[in-house]
A and B are shown apart, each in its own frame.
Chain A
Amino acid sequence: MAWGIAMSDNKILRIVARFLIPLIMLFALYIQFHGEYSPGGGFQAGVVFAAAWILFVLIFGLDLGLEVIPERAMFVLMVLGVMLYCAVGLLNVAQGGLFLDFSTLLADPKAAQQAGIITVELGIGITVATVVMLIFTMFARRKREQDGTDEDAP
């Protein structure tokens, strides 16, 4: 009935996933925070992080996945990500600069730009990750509802 219950019985899948998921999440964080030096950034990191969570759901089931990251947390975080982005911009305005011109954040202009980029990318990463997770949750739940009604119907 639930998403991927059959898959969770497979021992190989469970063990490989247990090994892989932390690595994928670590790689996501690497893409996120190393984005200024190598290819990457918030968007890619968010997607990779969400992919790790989706792999978890596929193997251990949706209920366990939602225990790790509840749906309410997804809503809050996906709005918070964009709000964080806006907040950095507004902070610039409050400090007498232009909207999203990071140069007022710190005394050193280069460090200020880097701080601004990292914060903004973090906001994007949080939003992307949670939106992808939310979309997947909605699909998985719809599937379960459909199965439920099919069982009730006859």
Chain B
Amino acid sequence: MVVAIAIVHVRDLFTASMLFAIYSLISAGLFVVLDAGDVALTEAAVGAGISTLLFLATLTMVDRREAPPNSSARHHWLALAVVGITGAFLVYATLDLPEFGDATSPAQAHVGSQYIASTYDDMGIPNMVAAVLASYRSIDTLGEGFVILTAGLAVYALLSVPATRRRRRNGMGHRHE
């Protein structure tokens, strides 16, 4: 929470990306406390590792400082009101959520218990997360694979265009004017 507020406040983008990494690492620690090793590992590797690297890679190309807010005198009361009301609704919605660790909550009572009961008999492996991801919910994971492939192709399509071309086109536009 403190780190999140610091991220919003800090104007130096390099510091902000470092704080993001710290935030991810703290979340990973929280997941470990909650006994969710798989999620913790993903958060540590992707959140604290790769996203920070990509932030830094972007930062080498753009200005390190965030642009100062152009209208510091005029506060955006409407935006504050929208955020406040949405936040209040979200807090109100959490009152309806089941108690933490409640065995009768929908998340526990639906297919989860069936997976827990039958994973070892079906697969003979102790890690239920792997069993659910790769076998019971195999087609979902296949979809995820395609999402990642598409993301890679999209980044390639965007960044493989030479950087000089855009500049040249701008120059031509100026000449027309």
Contacts and interface: CB of A to CB of B under 8 A. Distances in A.
Interface of A: 31, 35-44, 47-48, 50-51, 54, 78-79, 81-82, 85-86, 89, 99-102, 109-111, 113-114, 116-117, 120-121, 123-124, 127-128, 130-132, 134-136, 138-143, 145-146, 149
A120 B57 CA distance: 31
Interface residues of B, number: 46
A134 B152 contact: yes
B21 interface: no
A138 B159 contact: yes
Contacts of A36: 123, 125-127, 130-131
A50 B49 CA distance: 10
| Majority secondary structure, A binding face | helix
> Which of the listed residues A101, A132, A136 has the most CB atoms from chain B within 10 Å of its own CB?
A132
Contacts of B163: 142, 145-146, 149
A62 B140 CA distance: 35
Nearest to A54: B53
Contact of B141 (A48, A120, A130): A120
Contacts of B53: 51, 54, 136
Nearest to B145: A82
Contact of A100 (B138, B144, B146, B164): B138
**Main SS of the interface on chain B?**
helix
Contacts of A128: 148
Q: Which 7 A-B pairs have the closest CB atoms?
A: A39-B37, A131-B152, A110-B124, A36-B125, A138-B159, A139-B57, A100-B138
Contacts of B30: none
A113 B124 contact: yes
Given A89-B142, A113-B124, A145-B163, A121 B130 contact: yes
A121 to B, nearest CB: 6
Contacts of A134: 152, 155-156
Contacts of B160: 138
A48 B145 CA distance: 17
B156 to A, nearest CB: 6
